[in-house]
Amino acid sequence: MQAQKHAKLDMTRGPIMKLVMLFALPICLGNVLQQLYNTVDTIIIGNFCGTVSLAAVGTSGLPVEMLICIFLGLGTGVSILVAQYVGSEDTVNLKKTVATATSFLFLCTIPISILGLFVGPLILKLIHVPQDAWSYAVSYIRIIFIGTLGNMGYNMNAGILRGIGDSRSSLLFLIISCIVNVVLDLVFVALLGMDVSGAALATTLAMFTSWIFSVIYIKRRYPELEFTLLPRSLDKKILTRIIKIGLPLGLNNSIYSVGHMLMQSLINAQGSVFMAGCSVATKLTGLANVAITSFSAAATTFSGQNYGARILTRLKKGARQIPLFSGLITAIAGLIVTLLCRPILSIFTKDAQVLEMAVLYIRIVLPFTWFYAVLNAIINYINGLGEVKYPTIVNILMLWAVRIPSAYLIAYFIDGKYVMACYPISFLFGMIAMITFYFTRRWKQISTITPAVAASGAAAKV
C-alpha cells in the first residue's frame, strides 16, 4: 500500500505547478521514449531500406488513426471519469468504470482489427499513395491492424492510471516497449531484411508486450480496482457516461482524421521525396514537442480531480498556469531544435533532397508550435471537466475552416512545398479560440458552481 501512495499524486492539494511537473515529467520522458522507438523505425528504414520505404511508413499511420480514433476518444472519456471519481472519492463507481472499460476494449478492438485489414488499403488509395510505395504501405498497415488490441489496450490502461494520478507507470511500460521494439527492429529489418513489414511487426509485438505488462502492474499495484485482463461486466450507466463524454471526442478525432487524409493527399501529390522529408521532419517535431502531450495529460487529470472534489479556486488557478507553462517550455525547445535541425535531421537520412525538405518543414512549423501547446492544454483542461462541446467545435473549425483551406490556397497560389505553413496558421486560430472560452458564460458557471461545497472541500484539502 505504501508503494501505491508514492505512485499516485493527489492533484487536489499542494503547489499546483509542482504537482503538474511531477505528473508531467514521467509522461514527458515516456513520450521521448515513444518518439525514440518511432525514430528507430525511421533511422533503420532510412538507412537499410531506402526513400520509398520511408515514405510508405510515413503515410501509413493515417488509415490506422482513422479507424481507431473514435475508440481512443472513448478511452479519454474513461480517463476523465476515473479522475472525477478519484477526486470525489467515489470508489464504487471507480471500480465500475474500470470494469466497463475492460469489457468495452474487447467489444471494440476485435471488429476494428478485422475491418482495418480490408478498409486500410482503400484509405491508402483515397490519399493517392504513390505506386512505388503502395505495396510497402499495405504490408505495414495490415500488420499494425493485427496489433490493435495491444495498442488500444495499452492506451486504455495508461489512461486509467493517469486518471488515478499515477503517471510514472506509463514510463515503465514504454521503457519495456522501447527495448522490445529496438531489438526486434534490428533483428527483423537490419538482420533479416524484412523491410517495412519487419518494422511493423516489431512495433506490434512491442505494444502487446506493453499492454500485458500494464495489466499485471495494475492487478498487483492497485488490487482495490479489481482489474481483470478479460471482460467481466458492463455497467450501462457508466457506459452511457463514457459515451456521452468520449463519443464527441472520438467523432472529433474521426473528423480530424478525414481532414488529415486530405492533407496527406496534398503532401503525397508532391512526390515521394517530399513525403519522406515530411516523415523525417515530423519525427523531430515530435521530439521537440514532448512537453505538449505530457502537460495536456496533466491538465485533464488536474481539472478532473479538482472538479470532482469541487475545489474551484484551484480549478481557476490551474486553468491559467498549466497552459502558460506548456507554451513556454514548447517555445524554448522549438527554437533550440530549429537552430540545430540540419545536423540532427542528417541522422535520419543521407538523401540531400529529402534533407532539404525536412529542414524547410522544421523552419516553417516548429518555431510556432507553442501556439498548439497552449491551445491543447486548454482543450484537455476543459475536457477534464466533461465539457467537450466547445473544444470539439474549435477543433473542427481549426481544421476545416482554417488549416485545409489555407493549405490548398498556399499550394495553388504559392508553392506546394510550403503547404506545412497551414499548421502554424491553424494553431494560432485555435489558441485564440480556446483562450476565449475563459470569457464565456459557461466558464463562469463552472467556476462558481456550489460555492459552499467548494469552500468546504478546499478547507478539507489544504
Q: What is the pLDDT of residue 138?
A: 85
Could you tell me the three cell numbers for 440? 464565456
E strands of 246-402, at which residues?
none
pLDDT, mean over the chain: 85
Could you tell me the three cell numbers for 252? 472529433
Residue 320: partners with Cβ closer than 8 Å, 6 or more residues away: none
Burial class (CB in 10 A: 0-12, 13-18, 19+), 408: middle
pLDDT digits (tens, 9 = 90+) for 367-406: 999 999 999 999 999 999 989 999 999 999 999 999 999 9
Q: Which residue has the higher pLDDT, 229 or 318?
A: 318
Residue 8: partners with Cβ closer than 8 Å, 6 or more residues away: 164, 165, 166
pLDDT digits (tens, 9 = 90+) for 191-228: 888 888 888 898 899 889 999 999 999 999 999 899 98
- How would residue 275 be classed by pLDDT, with cut points 50, 70 and 90? confident
The residue extents of the domains of the chain are 16-461
Least confident span in 82-91, 188-197, 452-461: 452-461
- How would residue 425 be classed by pLDDT, with cut points 50, 70 and 90? very high
- Is 294 within 8 Å of 31 (Cβ atoms)? yes
Decide if pLDDT at 440 tops 90: yes
Burial class (CB in 10 A: 0-12, 13-18, 19+), 440: exposed
Q: What is the pLDDT of residue 141?
A: 86
pLDDT digits (tens, 9 = 90+) for 96-144: 999 999 998 898 888 888 888 888 888 777 767 777 777 888 888 888 8
Decide if pLDDT at 269 tops 70: yes
Choose among 395, 407, 382, 400: nearest CA to 433.
395
